[in-house]
A and B are shown apart, each in its own frame.
Chain A
Amino acid sequence: MHFAYMQNAQIEKFLPLKPRVSLMLLTLRDSPAHGYRLMHAIEERSGGTARMDPGLVYRTLVRLGTQGLIKECPPPGDSTDRRRRYYRLTEVGRRVVDAEVERQQLLLGQLQAAPEVGRQ
């Protein structure tokens, strides 16, 4: 029980995630990816509203790695591109992104339940 509490507290301290970091981690939840792939994925997932400079993507990757949310991994079996470094989620990273999704869904539910502004 105590251990579970510690674990939850460890996850909670990362929340809420910044929108672009959420999109990065969501992409990595599907499959390992390299920096440039993540850059394009953010743009695609946000419908073109969120863009990141590749340099910022890599700096964010370094930070997420330091925080223990992602880890470098060998390229997937079908990849032949040896120039790129690939990243995957760690267990903590997976739980953080799940918790963020849950948080956002809860918030969305509450927003949908609230009366519209101006409605009598």
Chain B
Amino acid sequence: MQFLTKRLTYLFTATKGLVLVAIALIALTTAFMGTLSGPMHEWGVTSFVVQNFGLRLVEAEREGRIVLLYHTIAIAVVAIETYLITGTVSMKTEEQTRINGTITVGYLLTLIFGLMFGYFGHSWIAHGLFIVGLTLTFFAGTQLAIALWPWSKSYAVKSPERAHWGKVDLERAAFFVMAVATLGSALFGGVTGSFYGNGQETFLAENVVREPFKAPLQLAIIGHLHIMLTLIGVALTLLVGRWLDFKGALHKWSMPLFIVGTAVTSLGAWSVVPIEPQAHTIIYVGSTIVLVGALLLVIAGFDNLIRSNLAAQGIRKATVAQKVRALLRDPLKFGALWQMVFMNFVVSFPGLFMAAKLEDIFRVWSLRQERSILTGHWHVLSGIIATIILLLYADMAGLRGRVRQIFGWVIIVASDLAFAAASAYSSRRLFVTEYTETSLVNTATLLLDIGLGTILTTLGILMGWRLFDLFKNKGRWQEEANAAQTQEDIL
């Protein structure tokens, strides 16, 4: 019994244990849902899974199922980020415990009962518990925002190298603004969800983009999904900054940009309902400010990696090649920053190009072709966010030496291959006609499957190792549990 108690205590109280559980559950969900589409579907795995697991997949309910699936995974990701914030941003221990406890129950209810309602018949009890899960997650977010209050004297800035305004720690303020904006954006979607969820008609945003007259609540859903993903990205970027000990002159520029950019982008997304045409401009301004803030983080992060690795090697005057080697020495930290750079090539720049050429190119295509690039765009962004979380977690989990190198580089190469292929596939009409697309489609699909398959396999190995470790008396889990009791900064 003690065997189980100790491990459950670690898994559900220590920050690293909580993150591990959430990643494992997302991995399991992804693996299971992966059997319902793509190559698994073509190989007949779907039929086997549907029959043997008792899934109930009614054609007319597909969009509703997908909305539930998106929420189950997104809320688990929000939980991971919350654990990382409470584990690394100063706050009272009881606040950390309360927030982590609330969001753990919240995301577990959301994930378990959301999937149950969506895929295993329509028990309204399950739907109710799904809503309870979302509500608890929102409540945890409210507690987090309170705990992050930046004007508290207890958390006045101590280091002059960190961005501050008077004694207010601007990094803490950036986390606070992100948390408040997330709560507002969740409400923005929650009100909409209440309307559409109560016997109304579910739809996917990508299917209504060309409707000439959109209902306010349709616009709200489009705004909600965009801003939530953006805020998940902002939170993760701030966490990467903590991880890499971001400070100095660029930190002082970056944090105000994050604060203003996050606020402006959120207000822009919320404005989609009353003033849609102007809202786009507000969003462009806000997201550009956020991207500049992230760029400063990347520049400082690369510089920091080069300096620290050269110093570790005792090199004072380095050649360009030595600097490059120093930059690439730690694939986990380099990878987190590189993925942010890579995101611009497969998400930001294509997004801007699409906005600029919407009428001339993309609206000339059929809706299905435009939908392909729209869904590709945000799936790739979600994927990049997931890989950065994995790289960060691998560092937290203590991967060292050769394993760290292999894990890091496999995630970087496989994901970039997959995301580049996904981008090429989704925007293929820019390069080839429908008649001559076969080669590109086949190649891109193959590379996408190889890339994603490699990432999932690598993730599976990592999770397998952590599962195996749980059976050891003095495993890695024990070290992490001990560290949690001494309130060690998890990053």
Instruction: Please say whether chains A and B are actual partners in one complex.
Output: no
Q: Which residues of B contact A (CB under 8 A)?
A: none
| Chain A residues in the interface with B (C-beta under 8 A) | none
